[in-house]
Amino acid sequence: GAVVSQHPSRVICKSGTSVKIECRSLDFQATTMFWYRQFPKKSLMLMATSNEGSKATYEQGVEKDKFLINHASLTLSTLTVTSAHPEDSSFYICSAQDRGSTDTQYFGPGTRLTVL
Amino acid sequence: GENVEQHPSTLSVQEGDSAVIKCTYSDSASNYFPWYKQELGKGSQLIIDIRSNVGEKKDQRIAVTLNKTAKHFSLHITETQPEDSAVYFCAARTGANNLFFGTGTRLTVIP
């Protein structure tokens, strides 16, 4: 089946630093990738949608200058959390949509970010 | 926008019994309803999905039903096994690709 990887799986950083999270589709091409954030005991919240070669579309309330998304190729999207603060600590999950599918999103295993 | 509600938040069943998780949605234009199983360290896996032109779909021990009039859909797991223990999320999609998720159900199957 389709596999999506995320790296790193876990990261701890100091307040004020930037952290980059990678999302890769390993065995398929993804024209569209999605970034979600999951709070403890809460649902997944869509942050932004990124299409290969174009600017990401951010959901209301998500700061585009703080959460930089780049989707440079059909198999890679990156999320950079800039000037991280403790409140950015969360579980970040990406998903990728197979260019041959209209519906199915395959999720990565997630990245646990802790900002000290 | 779409609002998806999911119940119950936690569910414990004896091994071999059935488990049912229910979701409601608000946007009648939603046309795709996937269910995801989230296990620690494995991310969220699509286990079954249903489209708005179908009322029921089965895949071995898992089935999903959709009632468009009432705007609710349910996940049914029969003959539950300990490995079914996980957090399950329902979702609904309206038009574009965005998925709106329910709040999750933690299912525990007691051996």
Touching check for B69 and chain A: CB below 8 Å?
no
Instruction: Answer for the pair A56, A64: CB distance below 8 angstroms, yes or no.
Output: yes
Residue of chain A whose Cα is closest to the Cα of B97: A103
pLDDT of residue B56: 95
> Which among B38, B40, B42, B44 is the top mutation candidate for probing chain A, defined by the most A β-carbons within 10 Å of its own β-carbon?
B44
pLDDT of residue A98: 77
- Of A61-70, A95-104, B18-27, the poorest mean pLDDT is in A95-104
Touching check for B98 and chain A: CB below 8 Å?
yes
Structure tokens at A55: 């600017």
Interchain CB contacts (distance < 8 Å): A and B: 53
More confident residue, A27 or B82: B82
Residue B66 pLDDT exceeds 70: yes
CA distance B25 to B29: 10
Residue A105 pLDDT exceeds 90: no
Instruction: Answer for the pair B86, B75: CB distance below 8 angstroms, yes or no.
Output: no
Q: How far is A114 from chain B (nearest CA, A)?
A: 16
Confidence of residue A108 (pLDDT cuts 50, 70, 90): confident
Instruction: Answer for the pair A90, A98: CB distance below 8 angstroms, yes or no.
Output: no
More confident residue, A107 or A43: A107
What mean pLDDT comes out for the span B1-24? 94
pLDDT of residue A16: 96
CB < 8 Å & 24+ apart, contacts of A1-4: A1/A106, A2/A27, A2/A28, A2/A96, A2/A98, A2/A104, A2/A106, A3/A27, A3/A106, A4/A30, A4/A94, A4/A95, A4/A96, A4/A106, A4/A107, A4/A108, A4/A109, A4/B43
CA distance A25 to A12: 24
More confident residue, B40 or A36: A36
CA distance A2 to A61: 31
User: Which amino acid, one-letter code, is at B111?
Assistant: P
Q: Are strands A10-13 and A111-115 parallel, antiparallel or unpaired?
A: parallel
Which of A34, A44, A104 is nearest residue B46 as measured by Cβ atoms? A104
Q: Which residues of A touch B42 (CB under 8 A)?
A: 109
What burial class does residue B28 get, using C-beta atoms within 10 Å of its C-beta: 0-12 exposed, 13-18 middle, 19+ buried? Answer: exposed
Touching check for B53 and chain A: CB below 8 Å?
no
What mean pLDDT comes out for the span A2-8? 89
pLDDT, mean over chain A: 89
Q: What share of chain B has pLDDT > 70, as a percent?
A: 94
Q: How far is Cα of residue A71 from the mean position of the Cα atoms in its chain?
A: 10
**CB contact (8 A) between residue A108 and residue B43:** yes
Tens of pLDDT, residues A34-43: 999 987 767 7
